[in-house]
Structure 1
Amino acid sequence: MKKVSIIDVAKEAGVSVSTVSLVLRQKGKISEATITKVQAAIQQLGYVHNVAAANLRASTSNLIGLILCDFSDSYAIKVMASIVMSLEKQGFMVFLGQPQDNRDGLERCLLSFHQQGVAGVIYLTSDTRHGALPAPLRQCALPLVVVSQTLIDEACNLVMRDNRQAAALATRYLLERGHRNIGYIGGEADCLLRLQRLQGFRASLQQHGIVLKEEASPACSEDTFAASQATRQLLEKNNTFTALLCHSPTALIGAISGIHQVGRTLGKDLFLTQQVALMGFEDMLHVNLTSPSLSYVSSASEETGRQAAELIISQVKTPNLPAQRILLSGELVVRESA
């Protein structure tokens, strides 16, 4: 069977080859009637547009390299899904790389991107302990957008959530509900995400004349047992705590166990002294499966992905744009636990 060419499509539609090319590339000012005729001819003849070949001829690419370091991080997975959806809507495709957590793996990933002819790179990192970009990314010649949960030291295109704002928002809500003894559970001591949230937590308390005591914000390893122990020890030492902010979904689940271990219950009724209000920072997939349902500040994962996609497209289409930093605010979702 003869392979259908763009010339065949042009003849079938009664237009020029250049017009068909513009329709395929979604360029130029083409009338809706002409677009409909060309699309009908493509459908009738079964023409398949070779995007890779067209990009090669035009020295352009519709491929975006996406580096995802941690497939176990729920926030990163949700951001990735939003990035892919947003890019596909704009006619771009994603080339996914998952390097090992070392320089050699990252260098191989970037080399593969170059060989595949990607137009730009999105680096989606879950590292909350280091504020610097890995050296291979600092040396990357391609347009680069970084999506991070914490602030990056280098001047780069960055999309991240505003951790201070998220903690301040949650704390203000609890203060407005009448809580004055509020603790913060979880996060390891060297976690930048924890440190940034504590800044927002502390600032909101200070605005109400409350000084955050060190023992009110115990750090612990990222597992439910450690969070449960930290919660239990905090409440046993001081039974006046009526609300807790939880660093992560793991910390939140552990905190529920710790609250029950000291004979108290989960809830937002300040006048029932055995109750402890609980808030998290993630829009967890299983948030509606608990009883009572959990209050939280959303991570804005969908908007983060959309902004990252828009930013890399603008960098690809208009090289040498100044670096941008986009901070996204979370949204307070009030349910039954606070």
Structure 2
Amino acid sequence: MKKVSIIDVAKLAGVSVSTVSLVLRQKGKISDATIEKVHAAITELGYVHNVAAANLRANTSNLIGLILRDFSDSFSIKVMASIVQELEKQGYMVFLGQPLNDDDHLERCLLSFKQQGVAGVIYLSSDATTLHLPEKMRLCPLPLVVVSQSLLEENCHLVMRDNRQAASLATRYLIERGHRSIAYIGGRENDMIRQQRLLGFHSALTQYGMVWRDEATPACSDDTHAASIVTRQLLEKNNTITALLCHSPDAMIGSISAIHQVGRTVGKDVFLTQQVALIGFEDMLHVNLTSPSFTYVSSASEETGRQAATLMIRKLKEPELQVQRITLSGQLIARESA
């Protein structure tokens, strides 16, 4: 069977080869009627556009390299899905890399991207213990967009969460509902996300004339057992605490266990002394299968992905684009736990 060519499509559609090419590349000012005729011809003939060959001829690429280092992180997974969806809408394809946590693997990943001819790289940073990118990423020769869950001190195109705003929003919400003894549970001492949220927590307390107490912000490792232990110790020492900000899903699950262990319940009624309100910092659908459903500040993961993809496309179209730093605020979703 003869291979269908772009010439065959042009003949059937009654247009020039260059017009078909412009339609395929979504370039130029082509009327809707002409575009419809070309697509109808493509469908009838079963023509398959060889994007790689077209990119090679035009010295361009519709491939974007995406680096995701932590597949266990729910935020990064949601951001990745949003990035892929947005890029595909715009005619781009994603080449995924998952280097291990060392420079050699990262270097090989970037070399692979270069060999595949990617146009740019989106890096999902998962290390919340540093303000800086790995050296290999800082030296990346390709257009680069970084997505981070915490503040980075890098001169790069950056999309990141506003952790300070999220904690301030959650704290003010609790205070305005009558809570006067609030604690922050979880996160390791060197976790930048925790540190930024504590700034927002402190700021909101100060705004309402409330006292900051270090003992009300216990750090712990990222697992439910550790969170349960520190929460129980805190509640046993201070039974006036009526609300908890939970650093992570594990911290929230651990806190629930501790609340029950000390004979209290989860709930939003500040006037019932046995109830403890809980607020998390992302939508934990697997937790919300139980009752009560949990109040949280959204992580804005879908919007983060859209912004990262849009910024990458803009950078490719405007090579001299000045460095952009986009900070996304979360939205408080009030449910049964607070």
Taking only the aligned residue pairs, the percentage that are identical comes to 75
**Aligned equivalent of 1:201:** 201
**Aligned equivalent of 1:32:** 32
User: In structure 2, what is the Cα distance between the partners aligned to 1:284 and 1:317?
Assistant: 37
Letter paired with 1:283: D
Listed one character per residue, the Cα deviations across residues 202-247 of structure 1 (whole Å, up to 9, x for unaligned) are: 0000111112111000000000000000100000001000000000
Alignment of 1:1-338 (within 5 A): 1-338=1-338
Listed one character per residue, the Cα deviations across residues 41-75 of structure 1 (whole Å, up to 9, x for unaligned) are: 11111111000000000000000000000000011
SS of equivalent to 2:210: coil
Shift, 1:12, TM fit: 1.0
User: In structure 2, what is the Cα distance between the partners aligned to 1:125 and 1:140?
Assistant: 14
Letter paired with 2:259: I
Letter paired with 1:126: S
SS of equivalent to 1:18: helix
User: In structure 2, what is the Cα distance between the partners aligned to 1:40 and 1:270?
Assistant: 64
Tell me which moved more, 62-71 or 2-11: 2-11
SS of equivalent to 2:291: coil
Letter paired with 1:40: A
Shift, 1:285, TM fit: 2.1
SS of equivalent to 1:326: strand
Tell me which moved more, 219-228 or 276-285: 276-285
User: In structure 1, what is the Cα distance between the partners aligned to 2:27 and 2:193?
Assistant: 43
SS of equivalent to 1:289: coil
Aligned residues: 338
User: In structure 2, what is the Cα distance between the partners aligned to 1:229 and 1:123?
Assistant: 35
Letter paired with 1:81: A
User: In structure 2, what is the Cα distance between the partners aligned to 1:196 and 1:50?
Assistant: 48
SS of equivalent to 1:255: helix
Shift, 1:37, TM fit: 1.1
SS of equivalent to 2:288: helix
User: In structure 1, what is the Cα distance between the partners aligned to 2:185 and 2:212?
Assistant: 13
SS of equivalent to 1:210: coil
Shift, 1:288, TM fit: 2.6
Listed one character per residue, the Cα deviations across residues 76-108 of structure 1 (whole Å, up to 9, x for unaligned) are: 000000000000000000000000100001000
User: In structure 1, what is the Cα distance between the partners aligned to 2:228 and 2:14?
Assistant: 72
SS of equivalent to 1:35: helix
User: Which runs of 4 or more aligned residues in structure 1 lie more than 6 Å from their structure 2 counterparts after TM superposition?
Assistant: none
User: In structure 2, what is the Cα distance between the partners aligned to 1:38 and 1:126?
Assistant: 45
Letter paired with 1:275: Q
Shift, 1:178, TM fit: 0.5
CA RMSD of aligned residues (A): 0.7
Letter paired with 1:25: R
User: In structure 1, what is the Cα distance between the partners aligned to 2:280 and 2:288?
Assistant: 13
Shift, 1:287, TM fit: 4.1
SS of equivalent to 2:236: helix
Any unmatched runs of 5+ in structure 1? none
User: In structure 2, what is the Cα distance between the partners aligned to 1:250 and 1:260?
Assistant: 16
SS of equivalent to 1:288: coil
User: In structure 1, what is the Cα distance between the partners aligned to 2:67 and 2:285?
Assistant: 23
User: In structure 1, what is the Cα distance between the partners aligned to 2:161 and 2:288?
Assistant: 23
SS of equivalent to 2:183: strand
SS of equivalent to 1:336: coil
Letter paired with 1:310: T
TM-score normalised over the length of structure 2: 0.99
Letter paired with 2:12: E
User: In structure 2, what is the Cα distance between the partners aligned to 1:168 and 1:109?
Assistant: 38
User: In structure 1, what is the Cα distance between the partners aligned to 2:229 and 2:248?
Assistant: 15
